[in-house]
Amino acid sequence: MPRRTRTRPPSPWPPPEQIPRDNFRLTAEQRAELLELLPPRLAEIAALPEYQALGCRTIADVAVQACEECVQCYNTIARARQNRQVPTNPANVARAINDLMVALRPFASGAVDLETMDVIATALGLPTDDHTAHPAAVTTCLAKLKHALAVQERAVRGRRVRDEAHRDLMVLCGYIGFCLQNLYETNSASMKDTMQARFLDRLLTFAGIPHPNAFDNPKRLITLLHS
């Protein structure tokens, strides 16, 4: 069976207003355990008034609150994916790019009428006062787009196929690592990679998110934090 018949463009995301936000919350005991894993320095610094209004007394509370919100975003995206029939993977993205390049051919070659070229020029923000020059500007612009898409299609086809849940986990862990690192640096604190991995392991465990175990695979968790 030809490869093209096995791939389809990824399903579109539903409108944001149709995606219910996850309401994950840590229990008081879980929150206390995570606070114990953070550098003591963070618990000594009072949070800014706007964070205190949200119940965060210290920078450590802010860190845990930020991580909780990251989990909420992860869960929200995971739920939205359940309504998408065709996943986002390299083959399907390459198919979508190829379909777009095919659709652009009559426009990039100037084969459509001038009124249509006017519409495209306006949408692209190109000047439309010179009716002898702007069709060429449109075709040049679209030809550049087609070339860029062709380069991207080749790059996408060469990528390793990862499932969407794994990619989402990488984004979640990377953002948590970024948030924690930012709080350390701005508040003169530090935390060893192994302790960060332990913190991440407990957070993901509380959230019920599958992940590498901190004791069996600490290096994998550390890699995810820095992804």
Taken in order 165, 168, 174, 179, is the CA torsion positive or negative? negative
Rounded Cα distance, 10 and 86, in Å: 5
Q: Do both 126 and 102 map to the same domain?
A: yes
pLDDT band (50, 70, 90) for residue 10: confident
- Domain span at residue 215 reads 26-85+163-225
Model confidence pLDDT, tens digit, residues 149-165:
999 999 888 877 666 77
Mean predicted confidence (pLDDT) in 19-31: 93
Digit-coded pLDDT (tens) for 91-116: 888 999 999 999 999 988 888 888 88
Residues 150 and 96 in one domain: yes
What phi and psi values does residue 46 have, to the nearest 5 degrees?
Answer: -70, 145
The answer to the question of residue 10 being in a domain is no
Q: Are residues 153 and 116 in the same domain?
A: yes
User: Does residue 2 fall inside a structural domain?
Assistant: no
> Do 115 and 212 share a structural domain?
no
Among residues 201, 168, 169, 36, the alpha carbon closest in space to that of 193 is found at: 201
Q: Quick check: is 16 in a domain? A: no
Residues paired with residue 58 on neighbouring β-strands, in sequence order? 46
Question: Domain check: are 43 and 132 in the same one?
Answer: no
Predicted confidence at residue 81, as pLDDT, reads 80
Task: Identify the three-state secondary structure at position 58.
Answer: strand
Among 213, 172, 209, which residue's Cα sits nearest to residue 69?
172
Task: Give yes or no: residues 39 and 58 share one domain.
Answer: yes
Residues 59 and 46 in one domain: yes
Q: Which helix (H) or strand (E) holds 174?
A: helix 164-186
This prediction's pTM: 0.71
> In this predicted structure, what is the pLDDT of residue 227?
77
Same domain, 177 and 65: yes
End-to-end C-alpha distance for the chain, whole angstroms: 37
Q: Which of 157, 178, 196 is the last residue of a domain?
A: 157
